[in-house]
Amino acid sequence: MTTDTDHTGIPAARLDRVRKLLAKAERAGTPDEAEIYTANALELMARHGIDDAVLAAADPVRTTDRIGSVRIEIDDPYSAGKARLLGWTASALRCRWVMHDAWGGRVPAVTVFGFDSDRERAELLYTSLLLQAARPLAELRPPRPDESVAAYRRSWLYGFAARIHERLREAEGRAVRDRDAEATAPEAGSSTALVLADRSDQVDQAYAAEFPSLRRARRPSVSGSGYRRGADAADRADLGGGPELSGADRGRELSPGS
């Protein structure tokens, strides 16, 4: 009897469980219910990614988990905020990203660069987060009647994306600690953190070779007052972050030729 596995030998049923948990979060009747499903999905997704990385490092010849890129289209409205939600999610999962700028602040696409397994997780989670954010984003109104609705919603989405980033990093950190604690006889110098650091270095080197002329973009300016409420919504529904994204420099918005 055989068991379906993904490209690194991890049972595919684990990602199926993640998808089902996220689907329940998307359909949840209350924010508290959505948080329970999403928190469980995040922990399982983090463990999945850690196991992917360790298995690939243990058998680099046989693994098919390779570094590559995928271009993901971004729809309006609020394409810049959606792009950062994708980019900050991807950077927390050890990917690099490029935000493709268009005129008038429109962002048509984001390219995510990293190992196959990490890009897969980033795409899956971003799709779910976008669905979870859609309803509150459409219903939001600023507390002050003189504030622009569009500006308020943009700032809400930035706050949501930043908190998602931090909560993801926390989940990844817990997964690393748990895996090392469970190791029966870890070899010197082969801790999970070192494996992940090596993978990040490989991604950085490949990214620099692929996009040698990119310049780091300026930190986005947010004029609306919805940032705090967006961050609170991310706490209830998904992950975490703040105005200063610790570790987010690996995935800053970058534009080819800028």
Query: Over the stretch 165-205, which tens digit does the pLDDT of each residue have?
Result: 988 998 888 888 888 887 655 554 458 888 899 999 999 99
Percent share of the chain, pLDDT over 90? 22
Please determine, for residue 3, whether its predicted confidence score (pLDDT) is greater than 50.
Answer: no
pLDDT at residue number 35? 77
What average pLDDT does this structure show over 221-236?
56
Domain boundaries, the chain: 12-241
pTM for the complete prediction? 0.75
Contact present, 87 and 97 (Cβ < 8 Å): yes
104: left (phi > 0), else alpha (psi -120 to 50), else beta?
left
- Structure tokens belonging to residue 204: 């950085």
Cα separation, 84 vs 107, whole angstroms:
10
Please determine, for residue 108, whether its predicted confidence score (pLDDT) is greater than 80.
Answer: yes
The conformation of residue 103, written as its DSSP 8-state character, comes to G
Cα separation, 186 vs 204, whole angstroms:
27
Other beta carbons less than 10 A from residue 101's beta carbon: 20
pLDDT at residue number 37? 82
Q: Report pLDDT digits (tens) over 208-226.
A: 998 887 766 555 555 555 5
